[in-house]
Amino acid sequence: MKIRFTLNGEAREMETDERRRVIDLLREDLTMTGTKEGCGTGECGACTILVNSESRLACLMVAPQLDGAEVMTIEGLARNGELHPLQKAFIEYGAIQCGFCTPGMVMASLDLLTRNPSPTEAEIREGISGNLCRCTGYQKIVEAVSAAASARKLGGRP
């Protein structure tokens, strides 16, 4: 079937199998490998993307669900080569170790900050609770999201 959607601001039209998982479509068909697969069952959050500005798990979606949607993946976050403030905060606060959970973690954090621009620490922990990280112990991720939220209040871009 043919699907049309917007991917990171760019209109896309592609022929795909209806059973194609969105994660395979992104990674294998479009070679956008920033979206990771850690379990295939919605348990780890590594494949978190935004669909119509809400976080979704790309491993539990099939291609037709993208038709007509606005999709954002980790690759779409930086603009004109400049990293998003949230991405910068992840680097600055040491929120990255192996980095395999990082794209999903950033997308989940972005989803959180879109709905709740000034989250408390508990709200941040809840906001990223669907994203498993085996390296960091989460603390530095929480600090990075918190810092990004504060920076945004000071006039950074959303």
Partner 1 sequence: MKVDRIPFEIGKATPRADGSAKVSGKEKYAADYYEGDFLWAGVKRAGVPHATIKGIHTEAAEALPGVIAVLTWKDIPGENRLGIIRRNQPVLAETVVRHSGEAVALILAESRGALKGAIDSILLEYAPLPGVFSAQEALKESSPLVHEDNPEGNVIKAVSVETGACASAMGECDVVVGGVYETPVQEHAFLETEAGWAYRAENGACVIVASTQTPFRDCFEIAPVLGMDPGSIRVIAPYLGGAFGGKDGITVQCLLALALLHAGGRPVKIWWDREESFLAGVKRMNATMHYRLGAKQDGTFHALECRLYYDGGAYSPLGGEIMTLGAEHAGSAYRIPNVSVKGWALYTNNPVGGPFRGFGVPQVTAAMEQMVDMAARKLGMDPLSIRLQNVVRKGDRNCVGVILTHSTGAAECLETILGHPLWKTRDEWKKGAGLFKVRGVGLACMAHAMGYPPMVPDEARAKIELTAEGKIRVYAGVVDMGQGNASTYQQIAGHILVQDGPAMELVLPDTARTLPSGSSSASRTTYTYGNALIEAATDLKKAILKAASAQTGGTRPEEFVLVPDRVRHIPTGNEISLGELAGSMDGPARTATGYFRMPVTRERLDAIYMGPHLIFSYGAHLVYAEIDELTGQVEIARYLAITDAGKVMSPRVYEQQIEGATAMGIGYALTEDFKVANGSIVTQDLATYIIPTSMDIPRIESIPVEIAEETGPFGMKGAGEIGMSGPMPAIGNAICDACGIRILRAPFIGEAVHEALLSGNAEEADL
Partner 2 sequence: MNVYLPGSLSELWSRQEECGMAQFFAGGTDLFVKLRASAQYPRALIGLEAVRELRSIEEREGAIFVGAGASHTRLLSHPLIQAHFPLLAKALRVLGSPPVRNMGTIGGNICTASPAGDALPPLYALGAEVELRRRDRSRRLPIHEFILGPGKTALAENELLYGVWLKKDDSPALFHFEKVGPRKALAIAIASFAALINSTDAGIVKKARFAWGSVGPVVVTSREAEESLVGFPLTRESLQRIVPIVDKIVSPIDDVRASASYRRALAGNLVLRLAEYGPREMGGKGEGLTRT
Helix (H) / strand (E) containing 4: strand 2-7
Rama region for 9: left / alpha / beta (φ>0; ψ in -120 to 50; rest): left
- In the complex, least distance from residue 25 CB atom to partner 2, rounded to whole angstroms: 13
**Phi–psi pair at 49, nearest 5 degrees:** -130, 170
DSSP per residue over 23-87, as a string?
HHIIIIIS--TTS--S-SSSSS-TTEEEETTEEEEGGG-BGGGGTT-EEE-GGGSSBTTBPPHHH
Specify burial of residue 86 (Cβ count, 10 A radius: 0-12, 13-18, 19+). Answer: buried
- In the complex, least distance from residue 63 CB atom to partner 1, rounded to whole angstroms: 14
Assign 3-state DSSP to the chain and report helix, strand, coil percentages, each to 5. Answer: 40, 15, 45
Q: Which does 112 bind (CB under 5 to 8 A by kind): partner 2, partner 1, none?
A: partner 2
Q: Which does 85 bind (CB under 5 to 8 A by kind): partner 2, partner 1, none?
A: none
Q: Which is nearer to partner 1, 1 or 83 (CB)?
A: 83
* Residues lying near partner 1 in the complex (CB under 8 A): 24, 27-28, 31-41, 43-44, 46, 73-75, 77-78, 83, 87, 90-92, 94, 96-103, 106, 124-126, 128-142
Q: Which does 8 bind (CB under 5 to 8 A by kind): partner 2, partner 1, none?
A: none
* Residues lying near partner 2 in the complex (CB under 8 A): 18-19, 21, 40-43, 45, 48, 54-57, 59-65, 67, 108, 111-112, 126-132
Q: Which is nearer to partner 2, 50 or 95 (CB)?
A: 50
- In the complex, least distance from residue 6 CB atom to partner 1, rounded to whole angstroms: 18
